[in-house]
Chains A and B, each alone.
Chain A
Amino acid sequence: MQLFPCPFCGPRDEREFLFIAEAGKTRPDTTQNISDEDWARYLHSIRNDKGAVREVWMHLTCGELFVLERDSVTMEVNRSIPLRKDAA
């Protein structure tokens, strides 16, 4: 059972987390023209890399969305990167 580091809460059991998406995809501006191909790529194109991956996860108990860098083969977790900063 994996331990994932929530940027706010610290290490927690993997069951508290939900995979959201691979990191790095940007939603196209749908008020502009987007080709079918581009939209299909946004929807369905998934790298699913073997080895080092960057993913967006949600820590369900606190709701935080963050980027997780881990290894999809060894299950080693390298680090988590908050998408937000604490209020000053």
Chain B
Amino acid sequence: MTSHRVSSPTGKTLNFTFDGKAYAGVEGDSLASALLANGVRIMGRSFKYHRPRGPWSDWVDDPNAIMTVRKGGVELPNCAATTTYLEDGMEARAVNAWPSAAFDIKGGLDLLHRWLGAGFYYKTFIWPDWHLFEPAIRKMAGLGHVTDEVLDGYSADQLHDRCDVLVIGGGPAGLSAARVASQAGQDVCLVEDHKSLGGGARLSREIEGMDPDAWVATEADGIVQAGGRILTHATAFGIYDHQMVAIIEHGPFGAAPRLRRMRARRIILASGALDRPVTFANNDRPGIMSVAGACTYLTQHDVLVGRKIALACNNSFADDAEAMLTSAGAQITPIDPQSGPMEAMGGKTLRGLLQSGITHAVDTILASGGQTPLVHLWRHAGGKLDWCEERQAFLPGSTPINMIAVGGARGAFDMDHALAQARAAGQGEARPQGSDEPPRYHLTPLWPDPGSAGRQWIDFQHDVTLKDIELAARENYISVEHLKRYTTLGMASDQGKTSNMAGLAAMATLQGKPIPEVGTTTFRPPFVPVPLEIYHGHHKGQHWNPVKRLALEVEHRAAGAALGEYGGWLRPAWYGAGGMAARVPEEVKAARDGAGLFDASPLGKIEVMGPDAEDFVNFIYYNTIKTLKPGRIRYDFMLSEGGIVYDDGVIARVDEHRFIISCSSSHVDGVRTHLEAWRQDGNDPDRIFIHDTTQHWATLTVTGPKARDVVSGLALEADLTKGALPHMAFLEATWQDAPLRIARVSFSGDLSFELSIRRSKAQALWHALREAGAIPIGLEAMAVMRAEKGYIMIGKDTDGETMPHDLGFTVPREKKTAAFVGDRSLHMEVANDPARKQLVGLAVTEGSSMLPIGAHVVTDDAKPKSLGYVTSSYESPVLNAAIAIGLVENGHARMGESVTVWNQGETREAVITSPVFFDPDGERLRA
């Protein structure tokens, strides 16, 4: 028997290979149907025992035929042969099998099955240490391998979409619901995961008096004519909040799929139902297939899967199947699965079915234990399930908002009932019944029989047998969620579509409980495996976390800047060749001797204006702001209500009703949000307004003893003398017809002028300041200079417990009378704890190297205990010494104390000092 096609294929011939051997299929084939047509049944090996596996079904519920597929330089692992459409030139290999699925050398593992039951790994490899075994076991585990190749242009399109009615499933119910809804004027989108529409229509001889293909075409045409959309080869794989449905759209093999995020006003779920397997001895053998699968291979692909077929079916669909297969030339032996235990005979090749002492010589067994509605998406959306005794299935119960299930997904297995129900749903009925007639579909309950003989498979891919369920029950893993994790039942790539019902029914029997009391495991997206690329999309490279870019980036690059990410901005770390270690000390010295030029543009510039601005800023900040005069600047802390320092910054008062808050560069969004929240909650928002103008401005800081000379080079009409513009004062000038703010604020500890100008003037100002003698310095040099001065960086030199008095700022806590954010927290017990960590300097003996950042100050006990840690540490090029600052318990009272500093097993000595190592009297600062 060379071909299993019942007619000569008319479609285009497609050549492909499987496990190195050449085959031909036709256009429209899946890999599985093409192989079945060629008489190939063994398409894979099971995960644990490496048992030979052939397809159980024809679509997403198949757990067996998993392949790595290569075509045109693209290799994708874990392709289901049943859902991968055949293309010319495909090279497919079975996963978990070598050299081929038919002759897998690990097939011998099956002989060890007695010792490899559920929990084998947990019990065996716990002693002496799992980690000894882990590498070898990991190597054996898993299905398929990801190659190191990067696929050029493999980038998923992600888009948002919307519709009035989303119909999921292009079978008879979905098509008729979509047609009615679109003809009623609704904006309808129908999603079908096959390339062609029809679904269960293929299993019918006729629908409403028409040939099924003609009926499907008529319905589809009706949808499109009424303005509806139809997406094929697209799977709705998850339903998220507020009717957001994730749809994956497939293209040709190797093309990145598209993620369509569809927002639907209403969802009609018409996802149909699946045959569930029958549990009997050796029921995993290749050649044992679902009844619907075999019928689909016949009607869709003209493939007759066997010639002598045993039909082991407990439900009324058996009659149609028998007629269909008989007319295609098969010889059918109907088997009543209830009349006695069954056992499949044969190994790689099926030889027969043994029941009640009689061996039926068949080459194929088709099985169905009843219909299981596909309710996964229903559960994603929060819908409940009700157990239907009559159908022996969980059916959609109480309805999630704006969603309804129709047809097979709702247990309407008779065509006329399904269509009536679907059309009522399409009209907008909330709970369409469809028909008062009793269903013609009927079955005899058929579930696994615990204790019966033979190896009976529950989960085909993961090799979970009925005995494993029995073992789990004996060991008290009786909750379905425990059962699942202990046995790995339902954790294979099909996520239990074939195995879950049998597994939980077996557990119900073992416990003597009804099935609904045992319940189901949680259904979670995705309904089918999807490549991670669809979540990835454009979020890659520079879009993963795009940095903010400076107005002067071109100038910085021209000056040889090494750029790095600081608080969300791409900023110069240092300038010039030679690396950070060589350049940073040079830049520090240049600034300390002359004038450094530092791009401080990311500093926040948030304006607070209005009649209540003064009270508001006074309430938000720790220091008293009411006393701040126009033209003056104050350093201050923003606290959380817990009293913890959230941000530090300077506040400039422009006039009675206007303040400019200059917060940390990385905190602008957070500070703005904090201000907005307090403005509208507890204050009068009509009397306070907050404008974040940060990105309008570029800020250049000129710092160093020659800073005044440099700024004077701009020839401003402004008095820059110490008397007119002292430290912590500012003025507004004009330069080249643009407003120029000059602030005497210093982060370096040296004489500094912070010049802010509109972004479009930044280049001109940069060049003018350089011509006047300023030397560019990067952030790393500034970080050294501020540490020399004992100035903190929030989040580096403070942590989630730091309060302002820990930093030496005690006055407002004791004296400020007006309410401010966090005030009461500064007087809680924890705030008064004498063991609070306080900011100190840590000096090392002359000539010794710098302390490691993160090193702990420890007690001298036999078991040292941490008293705090080093937060910043540098080699100071101007002091010619290593300097460090840190947070140490009760540090302010320990000045001069010698302490032990521990780092990774090594200890050093340090002396607790003031954190101010440079210019302690502030003469240079106030110059």
Contact = CB atoms under 8 A, between A and B. Distances in A.
Interface of A: 1-3, 14, 18, 20, 27-31, 34, 36, 39-40, 42-43, 56, 58, 60, 63-65, 74-77, 83-84, 87
Contact of B682 (A27, A64, A87): A27
B244 A1 contact: yes
Interface stretch (B135-143, B696-704, B773-781, B821-829): B821-829
A58 B642 contact: no
B641 interface: yes
Nearest to A76: B401
B641 A43 contact: yes
Contacts of B819: 29-31
A18 B681 CA distance: 14
Contact of A65 (B244, B680, B817): B680
Given A1-B240, A2-B242, A30-B824, A43 B642 contact: yes
25 contacts: A1-B240, A1-B241, A1-B244, A2-B241, A3-B242, A14-B241, A18-B673, A30-B824, A31-B817, A31-B818, A31-B819, A36-B828, A36-B829, A42-B641, A43-B825, A56-B681, A60-B673, A63-B676, A63-B680, A65-B677, A75-B241, A76-B401, A83-B681, A84-B685, A87-B686
B351 to A, nearest CB: 54
Interface in B654-680: 673, 676-677, 680
A39 B825 contact: yes
B825 to A, nearest CB: 7
B117 interface: no
A60 B673 CA distance: 8
Interface in B806-831: 817-820, 823-825, 828-829
Contacts of A39: 824-825, 828
Interface in B222-247: 240-242, 244
A7 to B, nearest CB: 12
4 closest A-B pairs (Cβ-Cβ)? A65-B680, A30-B819, A2-B241, A1-B244
Contacts, number: 59
Interface of B: 240-242, 244, 261, 263, 382, 400-401, 641-642, 673, 676-677, 680-682, 685-686, 817-820, 823-825, 828-829
Nearest to A65: B680
B382 A74 contact: yes
Interface centre among B400, B681, B682 (most CB of A within 10 A): B681
Given A63-B680, A74-B401, A83-B680, 5 more contacts: A27-B682, A29-B819, A36-B829, A42-B641, A60-B673
A79 B616 CA distance: 30
Contacts of B825: 39, 43
A64 to B, nearest CB: 8
Contacts of A75: 241-242, 382
Nearest to B690: A63
A76 B261 CA distance: 19
Contacts of A18: 673
Contacts of A20: 677, 681
B244 A84 contact: no
Nearest to A58: B677
A42 B261 CA distance: 40
A31 B615 CA distance: 14
A60 B669 CA distance: 10
B673 A28 contact: no
B380 to A, nearest CB: 12
Nearest to B817: A31
A58 B241 CA distance: 20
Contacts of A76: 401
Interface centre among A18, A42, A63 (most CB of B within 10 A): A63
B242 A58 contact: no
Nearest to B643: A43
Contacts of A65: 676-677, 680-681
Nearest to B818: A31
A11 B677 CA distance: 20
A83 B677 CA distance: 12
Contacts of A40: 828
A23 B4 CA distance: 69
A67 B169 CA distance: 39
A64 B682 CA distance: 14
A36 B828 CA distance: 6
A49 B829 CA distance: 30
A18 B680 CA distance: 14
Nearest to B819: A30
A18 to B, nearest CB: 7
A84 B180 CA distance: 45
Nearest to B382: A74
Contacts of A64: 680
A24 to B, nearest CB: 12
Contacts of B677: 20, 58, 65
A3 B241 CA distance: 8
A60 B670 CA distance: 11
Contacts of A2: 241-242
Contacts of B641: 42-43
B414 to A, nearest CB: 33
Given A39-B824, A84-B685, A1 B680 contact: no
A20 B673 CA distance: 10
A43 B241 CA distance: 31
Given A18-B673, A29-B819, A58-B677, A34 B824 contact: yes
A37 to B, nearest CB: 11
A20 B817 CA distance: 27
A40 to B, nearest CB: 8
Contact of B673 (A58, A74, A83): A58
Interface centre among A42, A60, A65, A77 (most CB of B within 10 A): A65
B847 to A, nearest CB: 49
A29 B642 CA distance: 15
Contacts of B240: 1
Contacts of B817: 31
A11 B537 CA distance: 25
B162 to A, nearest CB: 11
A1 B673 contact: no
A31 to B, nearest CB: 5
A63 B682 CA distance: 15
A56 B677 CA distance: 10
Nearest to B828: A36
Contacts of B685: 84
Contact of B824 (A14, A28, A84): A28
A83 B683 CA distance: 12
Nearest to A29: B819
Contacts of A28: 824
Nearest to A13: B160
Contacts of A58: 673, 676-677
A10 B241 CA distance: 18
Contacts of B682: 27
A29 B682 CA distance: 11
A46 to B, nearest CB: 13
Contacts of A36: 828-829
Contacts of A43: 641-642, 825
B563 to A, nearest CB: 28
B242 A84 contact: no
A29 B818 CA distance: 10
Contacts of B823: 30
Nearest to B240: A1
A86 B682 CA distance: 18
A58 B677 CA distance: 8
A65 B261 CA distance: 28
Nearest to B672: A63
